[in-house]
Structure 1
Amino acid sequence: MILVVGGAGYIGSHLVEELVKTNEVVVLDNLSTGHQRAIDTRAVFVKGDLGNEADLEAVFGSYPIKAVMHFAANSLVGESVVDPLKYYENNVASTLTLLKVMMKYDVKNFIFSSTAATYGIPDVDIISEDSPTVPINPYGQSKLMVENILADFAHAYDLRYVVLRYFNAAGASASGRIGEMHDPETHLIPIILQHLLGQREQISVFGDDYETPDGTCIRDYIHVTDLANAHIAALESLLNGQNKAATYNLGNGLGYSVKEVIDMCEKVTGRKANVVMADRRAGDPARLVASADKVHEALGWKAERDLEKIIASAWAWHQSIE
């Protein structure tokens, strides 16, 4: 049985929907940001907290867990700056509690949902796994701390793990059952689609004078189901002995500018956006794009859905919940 911690959240619930097709799954989530209705009914759901050792003991003592997939992190960059305690407590200390219980029950396979925020502001166009990790906020720092902890645990306790770093998850499940629903919403694609549904007055573009082809920032967008499949491929690589300790970027290797994303949203929806130019935001790099060559070579994975498919799936989801 596979334990998915944070399986009621956006990425976690999409992973669970794919994972239950071939595995028995138990989800642990405190529902602080996730939604119980997002969890596939084929999975066992346990309401509990990652940092509560008794909650973890109840799960590991009741189910034959053979691997853990960890999505239960706070992930708002701005919030991490004003409330770093929250991020170090949940993202780092609570993960240590999870690892402690895993070691007690001799569960040695771990998939960690990490982030490109570990790279900070890179000085390269395409970020590889060998790029320097110099996070510029507590969120990125907390994720990098866990990555370092995993390496130490692998050396000391024979933990086997895969770290997956990615940028902008987007889109919705082909089933139409689950999609992206954050409160507050901070991601570009759902913000644009909410505007095109009449839920927001305008879209603000933060800077159009960057050194990019159209002057707006370029980011790496990847469909959430592609992400889910990458996690499953990583899990299989641990369970079949292919991997013992690995770190992979998950991206499309191309990147799309803010203007390109807006244009594609207009194309998919057939609606025109009211776009307002705003000042640059501090700390926004011109370009953040990941190389996914390493994971493709090692696991045979690559992103299959392009920007139009990402937005089309998200649009169908947003219309269904309007």
Structure 2
Amino acid sequence: MAILVTGGAGYIGAHIVRAFDEAGLDSVVVDDLSSGHREFVPDDVPFIDLNITRTKKLTEALRRYDIEAVVHLAGFKYAGVSVERPLHTYQQNVQGTVSLLRAMAEHGIGTIVFSSSAAVYGTPDIALVTEDTPTAPESPYGESKLVGEWIIADQARATGLRHTSLRYFNVVGSGTPDLYDSSPHNLFPLVIRALSEGHRPKIFGADYPTPDGTCVRDYVHVADLAQAHVVAAQKLLAGESLEPVYNLGSGDGVSVRQIMTAVARATGIDFEPQVVDRRPGDPARIVASGERAARDLQWAMRHTLDEMVTSAWQAGRE
């Protein structure tokens, strides 16, 4: 028996695969390598090079493995770019989820943990987001993640599918030096790349309604996030009931400018970031409570901000 990890060659997915291995659970990875890396997948983990929107081929591929559950991360994940490419975003994220659920139903796979996003909340007007905060996504990416939650919940009502959706916030750091965030849009890899090339890192907008004018985010370490997936999958497979959604948040907000200060402290590089225009689709502030996940999924912030920055710097320079 094994757990299928869609998007398992990506930054977050690869950490989840490692976490399953550490827990003594076998996994199978499906990824089209549009943003993932083949070398992130261990040699002893079966790898399927495939876009999950190709339902027939996905169904055929799953026939070769004894899959008991799915952790679904595959999709187009860039909120700002999704504003410019809404049709592509919906095709990959909504159609992809429908395709996966069809393949799961074909093979009688009845458990799924879904990678959702804090983007479903948009820009909430409260200090701390909970799972009961109204959803109001402001980008096609956020909308596609919310629709994904709805589709999975509807399939559960129709078929008894066991499920939960984990709403991620800003995932950073590295659990091992050979796994790094290579996104061309995420803050940490952008800062690391700029410093490595001798350039000034950029801050996208310094005129937000926040204390220092830069976006405030909820940063969580990728290894902590991966562990929550392991617990969620284990509990669902054991027949335990979970909430339909959980926030994986720290409860504390850190501004982009504060991140820059932490980077300078961790690297020993003294720099003044360059302020440029805002990116479309970026909310001013989003910080969430992780209390419900702590109660049910053993969720905890086990890494400090400096540990997040240092591990990202070390992995990003490998």
Under a length normalisation based on structure 1, what TM-score does the superposition of the two structures give? 0.93
CA drift of 1:15 comes to 0.8
Q: What is the CA–CA distance in structure 2 between the aligned matches of 1:55 and 1:244, rounded to whole Å?
A: 31
- Give the stretch that moved more between structures: 254-263 or 298-307: 298-307
Q: What is the CA–CA distance in structure 1 between the aligned matches of 2:134 and 2:66, rounded to whole Å?
A: 38
2:77 to 70, 75, 78: 75
CA drift of 1:211 comes to 4.0
CA drift of 1:282 comes to 5.2
In the TM superposition, what are the counterparts of 1:256-271 in structure 2 within 5 Å? 256-271=254-269
Q: Could you say which residue in structure 2 is the equivalent of 1:99?
A: 101
| Conserved? CA contact 1:20–1:42, under 8 Å | no
Percent of aligned pairs with the same amino acid: 40
| Cα displacement string for residues 153-191 of structure 1 (whole angstroms, at most 9, x for unaligned residues) | 1111001101000121111123x1211112xx1111222
CA drift of 1:16 comes to 0.7
Q: Go from structure 1 to structure 2 and tell me whether the alpha carbon gap of 1:5 and 1:285 turns closer, same or farther (over 3 Å shift).
A: closer
| Conserved? CA contact 1:172–1:310, under 8 Å | yes
| Cα displacement string for residues 67-96 of structure 1 (whole angstroms, at most 9, x for unaligned residues) | 011111101123212221111111111211
SS in 2 for 1:216: coil
Q: Could you say which residue in structure 1 is the equivalent of 2:26?
A: 24
| Cα displacement string for residues 256-287 of structure 1 (whole angstroms, at most 9, x for unaligned residues) | 11121011100100001232233445554332
Q: What is the CA–CA distance in structure 1 between the aligned matches of 2:317 and 2:153, rounded to whole Å?
A: 43
Q: Could you say which residue in structure 1 is the equivalent of 2:43?
A: 41
| Conserved? CA contact 1:151–1:245, under 8 Å | no
In the TM superposition, what are the counterparts of 1:157-306 in structure 2 within 5 Å? 157-174=159-176, 176-182=177-183, 185-199=184-198, 201-243=199-241, 245-281=243-279, 284-306=282-304
CA drift of 1:42 comes to 2.8
Q: What is the CA–CA distance in structure 1 between the aligned matches of 2:304 and 2:76, rounded to whole Å?
A: 27
Q: Go from structure 1 to structure 2 and tell me whether the alpha carbon gap of 1:267 and 1:145 turns closer, same or farther (over 3 Å shift).
A: same
CA drift of 1:150 comes to 1.1
Q: Go from structure 1 to structure 2 and tell me whether the alpha carbon gap of 1:64 and 1:284 turns closer, same or farther (over 3 Å shift).
A: closer
SS in 2 for 1:177: coil
Q: Go from structure 1 to structure 2 and tell me whether the alpha carbon gap of 1:36 and 1:159 turns closer, same or farther (over 3 Å shift).
A: same
SS in 2 for 1:113: strand
| Conserved? CA contact 2:123–2:285, under 8 Å | no
Q: Could you say which residue in structure 2 is the equivalent of 1:118?
A: 120
Q: Go from structure 1 to structure 2 and tell me whether the alpha carbon gap of 1:279 and 1:78 turns closer, same or farther (over 3 Å shift).
A: closer
Q: What is the CA–CA distance in structure 1 between the aligned matches of 2:278 and 2:49, rounded to whole Å?
A: 41
SS in 2 for 1:287: coil
CA drift of 1:304 comes to 0.9
Under a length normalisation based on structure 2, what TM-score does the superposition of the two structures give? 0.94
2:142 to 140, 143, 150: 140
CA drift of 1:117 comes to 0.7
Q: What is the CA–CA distance in structure 2 between the aligned matches of 1:53 and 1:208, rounded to whole Å?
A: 44
Q: What is the CA–CA distance in structure 1 between the aligned matches of 2:286 and 2:252, rounded to whole Å?
A: 10
Q: What is the CA–CA distance in structure 1 between the aligned matches of 2:248 and 2:153, rounded to whole Å?
A: 20
Q: Go from structure 1 to structure 2 and tell me whether the alpha carbon gap of 1:91 and 1:207 turns closer, same or farther (over 3 Å shift).
A: closer
SS in 2 for 1:288: coil
2:64 to 27, 46, 62: 62
CA drift of 1:61 comes to 1.1
Q: Could you say which residue in structure 1 is the equivalent of 2:7?
A: 6
Q: Go from structure 1 to structure 2 and tell me whether the alpha carbon gap of 1:244 and 1:158 turns closer, same or farther (over 3 Å shift).
A: farther
Q: What is the CA–CA distance in structure 1 between the aligned matches of 2:87 and 2:214, rounded to whole Å?
A: 33
Aligned residues, how many? 316
Q: Go from structure 1 to structure 2 and tell me whether the alpha carbon gap of 1:289 and 1:85 turns closer, same or farther (over 3 Å shift).
A: same
